[in-house]
Amino acid sequence: MIVYPAIDLRQGRCVRLRQGDVAAETVFAADPVEAARRWAAEGAEWLHVVNLDGALGHSGAENLRALERILAAVKLPVQFGGGLRSLDDVQRLLELGVARVILGTVAVREPQVVAEALARYGPERVSVGIDAREGRVAIHGWVAMADVDALELAGRMRALGMTRVVYTDVGRDGTLTGVNLEATVRLARLSGLKVIASGGVASVEDIRALCAHEAEGIEGVIIGMALYRGMVRLGEALRAARGDPSLCSG
């Protein structure tokens, strides 16, 4: 199972939000390259970078410049999402050096864009983020709700040729209340897709619990606030994701 340290970008800085609320923002690094270098030095295999301004409908130009500097500073594959609304956006980010793009709102509103991106670049480079609140899909930076549930959207994406999704429990994101294991595993099991879990991770136990369901399709976990608050050390998270028995409780 892959651990993805999260670098959320807002106005060019590395921040964390609580449940997607920009009024509940904590800045962890004025220069996000510092965070990228830290996670690379501590053994990260991937980075998960999000353009929060783009997700909220703004240009996010400062964040794209920060992304370019991250890509130049560390030699890690980066999965990137936030505000990608067209095939041109996908092409631009992949040509910039991003290893995988994460599409969000467009998967609900314009699924043909997802289909075209998959046809052109394949499912290893194109994925979809399914952000859900009590099972319903949240869109437009989580400020609106779509008339579709998470499992139904996953099924639509699989029919287009998608092989993996990022599943975020919006109600838990940035809260350190623990991952929604039941909903995450259920999505993987019933959809047949590989799932990267996100939202609420607070401890190594959360990672171990997800890792126990790797055979059912849990492929990775995104960790943000717990890393930045020091509640989880990246080295421990990586070992837990590899099933290190020394991290078993009791």
As a whole number of angstroms, the distance between CA 207 and CA 74 comes to: 25
Return the bridge partners of 130, or none: 167
As a whole number of angstroms, the distance between CA 16 and CA 25 comes to: 6
Q: Calculate the dihedral angle through the C-alpha atoms of 199, 155, 100, 2, rounding to the nearest 10 degrees.
A: 50
Residue pair 172/179 in contact (Cβ under 8 Å)? The answer is yes
Q: CA separation (Å) from 151 to 106, 123, 183?
A: 17, 19, 10
Q: Which residues are catalytic?
A: 8, 131
The residues near 114 (Cβ < 8 Å, ≥ 6 apart) are 103, 106, 107, 126, 128, 157, 160, 162
